[in-house]
Structure 1
Amino acid sequence: MSGDTILEVRDIDVFYGSSQIIFGASFTIEKGQCMALLGRNGAGKSTTFKAIAGLAPPRSGEVILGNRPVQNLKPHNIARMGIGYVPEDRQVFPEHSVVDNLIVGAKSGVNGDTYWTLERIFEVFPLLADLRDRAAGKLSGGEQQLLSIARTLMGNPEVLLLDEPSEGLAPIIVAQIGDLIRQLQSMGATILLAEQNLYFCLSVATHATVIDNGHVVYCDSIDALRDNEDIKKRYLAV
């Protein structure tokens, strides 16, 4: 790993039972990057995220966070080492308030960092400040997505995994999520973003990895992908 590389996925194979889903996938993310993991529905994006987070451990290959392999660790230990995972189905605690959901996610970072506090969350997410006492189950889909991201940030992660953050949301909310991702980048966050929405990724990501049928088929800057009509047509066209 280079000095700036914070997450490296090396030749991972991932199975669900006897069915192989990911085939020798490899890519690296450097500190401060926003890497878009792009692919059609069913390409293997969410499974790759689960492999990194320890929810679907690779059968072979390595996941290296910082300089330490983590592929054999339990999910809670991987989280403590700095992986913050926002699943596509959000998984808020519906009966608990926004504040309670945020407190549940609170922990210091791997180096004892406490950059993300309730006060900072409410500065960056003013909508959640206004909804702090509302039950999470009574929030809109977009508000729940914001809460899920904010709750994960409360764990002060080294790398933030966002799984399909724009899925099923109204365009105005998608635009707000895009603004948030750009703001987090400006604050130094490192983000891995799984998406089908190419146009959304072109507006927020710095780099792109394309996955197709469980195989990584392309890795480059987002500007290079923008100009690569062949890759976009072959793997990303709906």
Structure 2
Amino acid sequence: MSASPVVQVEDLDVYYGTSQILFGVGLDVRLGDTMALLGRNGAGKSTTMKAIAGLAPARRGRVTLRGQLVSGLKPHHIARAGLGFVPEDRQIFPEHSVEDNLIIGRKTGPEGQDDWPLRRIYDVFPLLEPLRHRIAGRLSGGEQQMLAIARTLMGNPVLLLLDEPSEGLAPIIVQRIGELLRQLRSTGATILIAEQNMHFCLGLASRATVIDKGQIVYSAGIEELKANETVRQRYLAL
């Protein structure tokens, strides 16, 4: 495990208008880690992801990506620095084909790396290749989620943010998404997943951070979370 984090979040305060949403949030994700950011609906997970991506600017605190301060940068500059963000609503281009969506997302990484060419995307996402000419808006929810993840990987990110990837999907599709993310983890990808579905993350993440009412309340290895009934019941039970 790398001694230095790929992303480090320190003391973030984020407001929507006059309402404070995040209170001193701090976390870090290290190279090759899959970190689960867990919490109930409204706990602050999505706001944390948006703050890292520059979509919800922090009033206080800082975010560094591979040691570079990215707080205050525009979202597209943070993306160029190596951040890939899959939002909760996926935001595919519904009038374009699957392959057009992928090509639109294509760029080299911050050091010119091209680890995710189109051929590799189809190898890792075999369900997408036979759909490559289909209009993306006609895909199922699970197919759209796979496309959104694949399109983000086409940008060769050093850190992949996934906001509620299991949300609204049938259990069999959630299982497939989980298998895909385990495969990505095995390639050495660094991933931060915001999820309400704790069980989706238990067999997937290496570490877990729990957020409640805009504050980090627990952080540990995933096995420690599994063993901590008190934390799971207090902050994650529905």
What TM-score do you get using the length of structure 1 for normalisation?
Answer: 0.98
Q: Report the AA paired with residue 203 of structure 2.
A: S
d(CA) in 2 for partners of 1:233 and 1:41?
A: 15
What secondary structure does 1:24 align onto? Answer: strand
- CA distance in 1 between partners of 2:52 and 2:170 (Å): 29
**Which digits, 9 at most, give the CA deviation of each residue in 1:181-229, with x for residues without a partner?**
1000100100000000011110100000000000000011000000001
Partner residue in 1 for 2:114: 114
1:201 equivalent to 2:229? Answer no
| Cα deviation 1:117-154 (Å, max 9, x = unaligned) | 11000000011001000000000000000000000000
* 1:152 matched residue in structure 2: 152
Q: State the partner residue of 1:143.
A: 143
Alpha-carbon distance in 1 for matches of 2:117, 2:60? 37
Q: Which residue of structure 2 aligns with residue 217 of structure 1?
A: 217
> Could you report, residue by residue, the CA deviation over 1:81-139 in whole angstroms, capped at 9, with x for unpaired residues?
01100001011101100000001100000110001011000000011001000000000
Q: Secondary structure at the match of 1:116?
A: coil
- Match of residue 26 from structure 1: 26
Distance in 2 (alpha carbons) for counterparts of 1:28 and 1:137: 35
Tell me which amino acid in the other structure corresponds to 1:32. G
Distance 2:187 2:112 in 1: 18
RMSD of aligned Cα (Å): 0.7
Identity of aligned residues (%): 64
Aligned length in residues: 237
Q: Structure 2 length as normaliser, TM-score?
A: 0.98
- In the TM superposition, residue 43 of structure 1 has moved relative to its aligned partner by 0.2
Give the 3-state SS of the residue equivalent to 1:126 in structure 2. coil
In 1, the alpha carbon distance for the partners of 2:235 and 2:176 equals 27
Q: Which runs of 5+ in 2 are unaligned?
A: none
Map of 1:61 onto structure 2: 61
For 1:72 and 1:202, the matched residues in 2 are separated by 33
- 1: distance between equivalents of 2:34 and 2:151? 19
